[in-house]
């Protein structure tokens, strides 16, 4: 029997090199720093040499550690591919897709029957996230994940496809505002709903397009906005707006169907919108780059988003554009 190094020690070594410290590695692996240190000592004992240089400035690999790290990438990639082959053998037609709860509820679920009709041999299993922590925790079990990322990350590659960039604008139920306001300043008289996302330090984690103060300034409204209700998750804010709770700032894709069906309206009309600071893309493991099931779903997803975006782009020119032409 060939001698094999302890696998948990290899994982700890990889995490330490990627993250640059035992503390960060321990947090990622869900163990104590002492446990990480113990695993590294076991690995060095197995290899018969030091793998890390422990300095005040941080950890760095020795020549032996560098050689081991170069081989580990191939090993872990091979194990990921082996997992996919094994899972596909057990569930050859199932595709696990992860995405945010709001995108699933307000847009994707309505369209999935169309995919099933077109591809009856492919089973889709949706995995829904409401927080970033949930998404990171479940990411390793997914075949495909729809991310909402900064524009600099949004590029097409062998493991991801750019989908769309949304617009942000106010929406409400017809009971709040049946027709577009003649004077945009009238928005200040309507009950406002707020999509809030704050860090542990109380700092905003969202773009300025989600701040009612940005909209008040843009519309020339004096005074500070006073939101009636706050929601951490945008899907809840949109649901509250549909029920007549007030005016919410919605993303174009999420409110597209409700606007078309008349469940929501735009109190400022079609001319007021701000681009979202983030864009959507579909991302998958490298081991699935040639998977025909995944390719079929990604192609269908791109077509559906393009169809929705095209419908929104056909709207009348913005009020600001008309003003410039005048």
- Same domain, yes or no: 220 and 129: no
- Same domain, yes or no: 76 and 107: no
Helix, strand, coil in percent for the chain, rounding step 5: 50, 20, 30
Establish if 1 belongs to a structural domain: no
- Count up the domains in the chain and report the number: 3
- Same domain, yes or no: 95 and 27: no
- Same domain, yes or no: 22 and 120: no
DSSP lists the bridge partners of residue 54 as: 59
Establish if 326 belongs to a structural domain: no
Pairing of strands 193-195, 229-231: parallel
- Residues with Cβ within 8 Å of residue 4, at least 6 apart in sequence: none
- Same domain, yes or no: 140 and 178: no
pLDDT of amino acid 325: 33
- Our measurement of the distance from residue 47's CA atom to the centroid of its chain's CA atoms, rounded to an integer in Å, reads 40
DSSP lists the bridge partners of residue 202 as: none
Establish if 138 belongs to a structural domain: yes
Gap between the Cα atoms of 320 and 311, Å rounded:
20
- Same domain, yes or no: 160 and 285: yes
Average of pLDDT values for 269-273?
86
- Same domain, yes or no: 155 and 295: yes
- Same domain, yes or no: 110 and 173: no
Residue 2 has pLDDT above 90, yes or no: no
- Same domain, yes or no: 25 and 150: no
Contact 122, 297 (CB under 8 A): yes
Read off the tokens for 213. Answer: 């103060």
- Same domain, yes or no: 122 and 146: yes
Quick one: DSSP state of residue 290?
T
- Residues with Cβ within 8 Å of residue 257, at least 6 apart in sequence: 106, 107, 110
Residue 198 has pLDDT above 50, yes or no: no
Domain boundary at 29, 59, 82, which?
A: 82
Contact 170, 191 (CB under 8 A): no
Phi and psi of 95, rounded to 5°?
-125, 120
Range of the domain at 52: 7-82
- Same domain, yes or no: 171 and 160: no
- Same domain, yes or no: 67 and 211: no
In 48-154, which ranges are continuous DSSP H helix? Answer: 63-90, 101-103, 109-118, 132-138
Domain boundary at 231, 251, 276, which?
A: 276
**Per-residue confidence at 204, pLDDT binned at 50, 70, 90?**
very low
Establish if 137 belongs to a structural domain: yes
Read off the tokens for 36. Answer: 């990480």
Q: Which has the higher per-residue pLDDT, 283 or 83?
A: 283
Nearest to 168 by CA among 200, 130, 208, 196: 208
3-class SS of residue 310: helix
- What digits encode the pLDDT tens for the residues 241-255? 999 999 999 998 899
Residue 193's CATH number: 3.40.190.10
Q: Is the dihedral of CA 159, 165, 168, 169 positive or negative?
A: negative
Specify burial of residue 97 (Cβ count, 10 A radius: 0-12, 13-18, 19+).
buried
**Per-residue confidence at 19, pLDDT binned at 50, 70, 90?**
confident
- What digits encode the pLDDT tens for the residues 130-184? 666 665 656 567 899 998 888 777 788 888 888 888 889 999 999 998 888 888 8
Tokens 């409204």 belong to residue: 221
N-to-C CA span, the chain? 83
Gap between the Cα atoms of 219 and 316, Å rounded:
19
Per-residue H/E/C for 135-191: HHHHHHHCCEEEEEECHHHCCCECCEEEEEEEEEEEEECCCCCCCCCCCHHHHHHCC
Gap between the Cα atoms of 210 and 44, Å rounded:
51
pTM: 0.64
pLDDT of amino acid 318: 39
Establish if 49 belongs to a structural domain: yes
Domain boundary at 47, 82, 117, which?
A: 82
């Amino acid at each position: 029997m060939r001698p094999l190094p302890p696998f948990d020690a290899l994982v700890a070594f990889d995490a330490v090199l990627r993250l640059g410290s035992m503390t960060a590695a321990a947090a990622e692996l869900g163990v104590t720093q002492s446990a990480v240190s113990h695993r590294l000592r076991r690995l060095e004992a197995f290899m018969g040499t030091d793998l890390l240089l422990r300095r005040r400035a941080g950890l760095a690999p020795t020549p032996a550690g560098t050689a081991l790290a170069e081989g580990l990438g191939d090993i872990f990639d091979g194990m990921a591919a082996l997992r996919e082959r094994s899972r596909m053998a057990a569930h050859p037609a199932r595709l696990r897709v992860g995405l945010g709860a709001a995108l699933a509820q307000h847009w994707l679920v309505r369209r999935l029957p169309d995919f099933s009709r077109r591809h009856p041999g492919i089973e889709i299993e949706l995995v829904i996230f409401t927080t970033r922590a949930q998404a990171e925790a479940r990411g390793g079990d997914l075949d495909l994940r729809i991310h909402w990322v900064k524009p600099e990350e949004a590029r097409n590659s062998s493991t991801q496809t750019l989908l769309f960039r949304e617009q942000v604008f106010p929406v409400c139920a017809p009971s709040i505002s049946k027709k577009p306001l003649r004077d945009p300043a009238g928005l200040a008289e309507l009950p406002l709903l707020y999509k809030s996302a704050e860090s542990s330090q109380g700092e905003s984690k969202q773009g300025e397009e989600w701040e009612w103060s940005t909209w008040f300034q843009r519309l020339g409204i004096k005074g500070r906005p006073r939101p009636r209700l706050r929601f951490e998750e945008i899907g809840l804010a949109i649901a509250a707006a549909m029920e007549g709770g007030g005016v919410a700032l919605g993303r174009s894709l999420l409110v597209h169907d409700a606007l078309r069906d008349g469940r929501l309206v735009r109190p400022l009309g079609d001319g007021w919108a701000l681009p979202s600071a983030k864009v959507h893309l579909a991302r998958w493991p490298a081991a699935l780059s040639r998977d025909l099931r995944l390719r079929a779903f990604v192609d269908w997803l791109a077509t559906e988003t393009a169809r929705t975006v095209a419908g929104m782009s056909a709207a009348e020119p913005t009020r600001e554009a008309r003003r410039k032409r005048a």
